[in-house]
Chain A
Amino acid sequence: MDRALERRRAPLNGLPRWFVAAVAVPPAAFLLLFYVWPFVTLLARGLGGADVAATLSRSDTWRILWFTTWQATASTALTIVIGLAPTWAVSRFDFAFRRVFVSTLTAVFVLPTVVVGAAFLAVLPDALDRSIWAILGAHVAFNLAVVVRTVGSAWERLPSDLDHAAAALGAGPFTTFRLITLPLLRSSISASAAIVFLFTFTSFGVIRVLGTAGRPTIEVEVWRRATQLGDIGGAATLTILQLLALGGLVAWTTVQQRRHAIAIRGEAPRRRPRPVGRQIAHVTGAVGVTTLIVAAPLLALVERSLRSGDGYSLAAWRSLGNNEIRPGLRLGVDPLGALQRSATTAVWATLFAMVIGATAVVAISALGRTGKVLDAGLMLPLGTSAITIGFGMLITFDTPPVDWRAEWWLVPIGHALVATPFVVRSALSVVRTIPADRAAAAATLGASPVRAWANTTLPALRRPFAAAAGLAAAISLGEFGATSFLTRSGSDTLPIAIERLLGRTGRLFQAQAFALSTILAVATIGIVLLVDRGGDRARRS
C-alpha cells in the first residue's frame, strides 16, 4: 500500500535498480571527476593551517564577507520588489511583444557580466558611476529574469477565482495581493530569492567593472589572491568560506520553503487575457520601466559599436571579417574565428550538459534522498569560484594517464559544469508534474517498468529537454569565468575575444568589442526566444 502511494507520487520509482544505477553514473562520475577531484587536489596543494589562520585573522576578510553579504541581500530584496510588477504583467496578461520581453530579460541574465557591465557603465549618469547604486542596479537588471520566470510560472497557475472571491468580498486589489496572492507565491518567491542571492553573493564581473576596487566580493578577492598575489592558500580558504556561507543559505531556504509551502491545486495556465481598462496602464508601466532598465544597456552596446571619434560609422562592423585594418596593421584577435569557436564550443557544451543533466534528472527523481545529494552536488560549481575549479583542473589533469590540459574538450566541460544545474532545475520542475497514472496504466497493460517508462515518461521529457538544451547553449555562449581560467583558453571564445579587444588601445578595438557584444546579445536573445517557444508549445500539448 505504501509502495503504491509512493510510486504514484514519484513516477520513476518503479524502475529497476540496475536502470537507475546506470543513469545515476554519468552525472555522479562527471561531478566527481571534473569538480570534486580538481577542487580537492587544489585544497590539498594550497591549503595549510597557516593560510587558514592568516586569512581568518585578517580584518579585511570579515570586511569583505560583510560587504558581500549585505550587497547580496540588498540586491536580492530590490530584485524581488522591482521584479514582482513585471512578473504580474507577464503571468496574468497577454500583450504585444510579451515573449520578446521575457526572452530579452533572460538573455541579459546569461550574457557575460563583464560586457554588459561595461555597457551599464556607459548609460549610468556620472554621479552614480562606481557607487553602490551602480552595483545594485546592475544586479537587479541581470537577475530580473530569475524572478519573472520562477515566480511567473507559479503565478500563472494560481486559480483566478480566488481573486474574484476576494474582490466579491470587498477586498481591493492591494489587499487581495497582500492577503491572498502573496502567501501563495511565497514559496516561489523564496526560491527565486535564493537563486538571486547565490548569483549576487558570487558576483564577479559586475563588481570588477562597476565597483570601486576597494569593495570586493569574496569571489573577486579569491581571484585577486590567486592570480595577482599568487596566494593560493588564502584563495582556497576564502573559497571554502564562500561555500560555507552559501551552504547555510541553502539550509535556511529549504526550511523556509517547507514552512511556507501552501498546498493548492494549481490550474493549468489559461489563455492569458489582454489587459483592459486601467490594467492597460499598469501593464504598460510595469513592462515599460523594466524594459528601460534592461534594454538601455543593450542599446548602449549597439551605440558604442558605432562610435568612431566624434561621430558614428560602420567601420567596426565592416572590419569584423577582415583582420587587416590597413596594410600591415592587424587586429591581433580573430573575431569571426571566435564566433565560430564559440558556436562549436556551445554545441559540445550543450551536448555534455544534456547527457549529464538528462541522466541526472531521471536519477534525481528516482533516487529520493540520495537524489537530493546529487541535486545539491550538481549545484556546487555555481557557488565555487571559477578560478578554484580552473586552477584545480590545471594541477589535476597534468600527468598521464589524465594529461588532459591540452584537450579541446576541457573548455566545453567547464561550460557544462555551469550549465548542468540550469538544465536540471528547468527539466526537474516539469518532470515532477508528469502524471503517474500514465506509467501505471502502461504497467497494468503488461509493460515492463523500463518499457512503461520509455513509452510514457520519456516522450513527455522531450520538450523540456529541448528547452533546457537551448538554455545550456545560451549559457555556454556567454560563459566567461571558467573559460578564462581553463587552460588553452588560447582558442578564444566570443566573450574572451571581447575582453581582449576591450583591453587594447585604439578606438576601433573598443567599437569592435561592442560590435561582437551586440552579436553575442542578439544570438542569445534568439536562442532564448526559440527555447521559450518550444516551452510554450510543450505546455499546451
Chain B
Amino acid sequence: MKRLPSITTAVTTAVAVAVALVAVSACSGDEPDTITLLAYESFPSEPDGPIALALDEFTEQTGIEVEVVISGDTGTMLSKAALTAGNPEADVMWGVDNTFLSRAISTGVFEPYEAVELDAIPAEFTSLVPNAEATPVDFGDVCVNYDISALVNDDVEPPTTLADLTLPQFAGKLVVENPATSSPGLAFLLATIAQFGEEGWEQYWQQLRANDVEVVSGWSDAYYSEFSGSGGDRPLVVSYGSSPPFEVIYAEPPLTEAASGVVESSCYRQVEFAGILSGTDAPDGARALIDFLVSERFQREVALNLFVFPVNPAVELDQAFVDFATIPDSPITIDPILIDANRTEWIERWNAAVLR
C-alpha cells in the first residue's frame, strides 16, 4: 500500500498546477476602445443584422467598438450584474424592466448618468428614474389577447375589462403565465393588483380559478401551446400589445390582417432601461453608448428587432404597428419601489390563492 500516493500529494500538485495556470493567464491584457453591452436573451446578436449595423455607425462616429453579450433572461442577467456589481463583466446593460428596476438600483448595479437627449423622452418614462440611475430605452404592454375567429365561432363578444374574464362565457378560455417564473405573468398579476387593490385581487384570482383559468410556466408555452390562435384550445391569452402585428409581420407567407385582438383596458405597461454598470473601466465610452441608444438612429431599429416600442418620440413606426398594434393611452402601472418591496409576498399569496 505504501506505493500509493496519498490524496495530499495529489491535492498539492493540483494546486501547483492551478497556480501555474493562473500565472500564465496573468499576461493577457484587455483591449481599450471596445465596450461591452450586456443584454437579455431576446436582444438580436446576429453579426450583420440591423442592430449590429446601427452599432457599427456608433463605432464610425466614436471609434469605439461595441461587443454584444447575451446574458440569459432579465432576472438572470440582473442577478449576475448584482453579484458582480463594482467589477462588472460589461460596461452597459440593456433591458432591465420596471419590475426589476428597484432591485437593480438598490443593489448598486448602475452608475447614474443623464443622457444628452433625455429631455426629448416623455416624462411618463423618465419620472420612473428621478436620479437618472438608468435611462428608459423602450416600452411595451402586457395585455390579454383574444383569438378573433374563435370568439366569433362561439358567438361571444370579446371581453373589454379584466372583470369580464370571470364571466361564465369565458369559463375555460383564458391561459396565463405563472408570475413566479414569467415576466408577462408577473405583469398581469401586477395589473390585477393595481385594478382590484391590495384587498380585492386575491378574490379576483379565486374567481378566475373558479372560471377554470389555466396557468402555465412561460410565455411560449401559453402563446404557442395553449392559445387557440396557435393550435391550442384557449382563445384568451396573456401576451403583448404588440403580438398581433408581429403575427402579421413574421408570418410565412405574410398575412394581410391580424388574427388576434387586444383587450386594451387589461394592458400593463413595461418600460425597459439601459444603464452604465458601476465599476466600468470605460465610463466615457459607456456614456456615449447610452446617448446613442436613445438617439433616433438606434431607436428606429427597436420596434422590428426587439418587439418593443421606442421611447424616442421622433421615431416613426412601421405601418404594421400603426395598423395592428395596441398602444393604450392610459395603461396600468405600479410604482417600481412598491413592486420590489412586495414582489415575493405577492407571488406567495398568488400561489396560495391560485395553485393550492
Interface pair A213/B355, CB less than 8 Å apart: yes
Contacts of B180 in A (CB 8 A): 213, 224, 228
Interface pair A224/B250, CB less than 8 Å apart: no
B344 at the interface (CB under 8 A from A): yes
Of B41, B219, B230, most A-chain CB atoms within 10 Å: B41
**Known: A224-B180, A308-B252, A332-B42. Contact between A213 and B304, CB under 8 A?**
no
List A197-222 residues whose CB lies under 8 Å from chain B.
208-209, 211-214
Interface pair B14/A490, CB less than 8 Å apart: no
Interface pair B5/A21, CB less than 8 Å apart: yes
Interface pair A313/B252, CB less than 8 Å apart: yes
Contacts of A126 in B (CB 8 A): 233
| B324-348 vs A, Cβ < 8 Å mask (1 yes, 0 no) | 0000000000000000000110001
8 Å CB contact of B72 from A13, A21, A227 = A227
B299 at the interface (CB under 8 A from A): no
Contacts of A406 in B (CB 8 A): 89
Rounded to whole angstroms, the CA-CA distance of A508 and B230 in the bound complex is 12
Contacts of B15 in A (CB 8 A): 29, 32
Interface pair A485/B72, CB less than 8 Å apart: yes
Residues of A within 8 A of B (CB-CB), count? 90
B174 at the interface (CB under 8 A from A): no
Interface pair A17/B3, CB less than 8 Å apart: yes
Interface pair B247/A489, CB less than 8 Å apart: no
8 Å CB contact of A332 from B4, B25, B305 = B305
Q: How far is the CB of A270 from chain B (nearest CB, A)?
A: 38
| A111-137 vs B, Cβ < 8 Å mask (1 yes, 0 no) | 000000010011000100110000000
Interface pair A334/B45, CB less than 8 Å apart: yes
Specify the chain B residue showing the minimal Cβ separation from A484.
Answer: B72
Interface pair A506/B79, CB less than 8 Å apart: no
Contacts of B45 in A (CB 8 A): 332-334, 490, 492
Rounded to whole angstroms, the CA-CA distance of A500 and B41 in the bound complex is 6
Which stretch, B46-54, B157-165, B195-203, B284-292, touches the partner chain A?
B46-54
Interface pair A505/B75, CB less than 8 Å apart: no
Of B1, B10, B180, B348, most A-chain CB atoms within 10 Å: B10
Q: Interface of chain A, helix or strand or loop or mixed?
A: helix
**Known: A227-B79, A370-B7. Contact between A502 and B220, CB under 8 A?**
yes
**Known: A32-B11, A337-B47, A391-B79. Contact between A503 and B250, CB under 8 A?**
no
Interface pair B41/A20, CB less than 8 Å apart: no
Interface pair B4/A370, CB less than 8 Å apart: yes
Q: How far is the CB of B183 from chain A (nearest CB, A)?
A: 9
Residues of B within 8 A of A (CB-CB), count? 85
**Known: A121-B221, A323-B46. Contact between A394 and B7, CB under 8 A?**
no
Interface pair A232/B22, CB less than 8 Å apart: no
Which stretch, B55-63, B210-218, B266-274, touches the partner chain A?
B210-218
Which stretch, B80-88, B114-122, B129-137, touches the partner chain A?
B80-88
A186 at the interface (CB under 8 A from B): no
Rounded to whole angstroms, the CA-CA distance of A326 and B47 in the bound complex is 17
Which residues in B have some Cβ–Cβ distance to A below 8 Å? 1, 3-7, 9-11, 13-15, 17-18, 21-23, 25-26, 41-47, 49-51, 68-73, 75-76, 78-80, 82-84, 87, 89, 103, 107, 178, 180-182, 215-221, 223-225, 230, 233, 239-240, 242-243, 246-247, 249-254, 304-305, 307, 343-344, 348, 351, 354-356
Given pairs A45-B83, A224-B181, A401-B26, 10 additional interface contacts (CB within 8 A)? A213-B215, A232-B83, A328-B50, A402-B25, A405-B89, A487-B80, A490-B69, A500-B42, A505-B243, A505-B307
Which residues in A have some Cβ–Cβ distance to B below 8 Å? 13, 16-17, 20-22, 24-26, 28-29, 32-33, 45, 60, 118, 121-122, 126, 129-130, 208-209, 211-214, 224, 226-230, 232, 308-309, 313, 315-316, 319, 323, 325-326, 328-334, 337, 363, 366-368, 370, 373-374, 387, 391, 394-395, 398-406, 484-485, 487-490, 492, 496, 499-500, 502-510
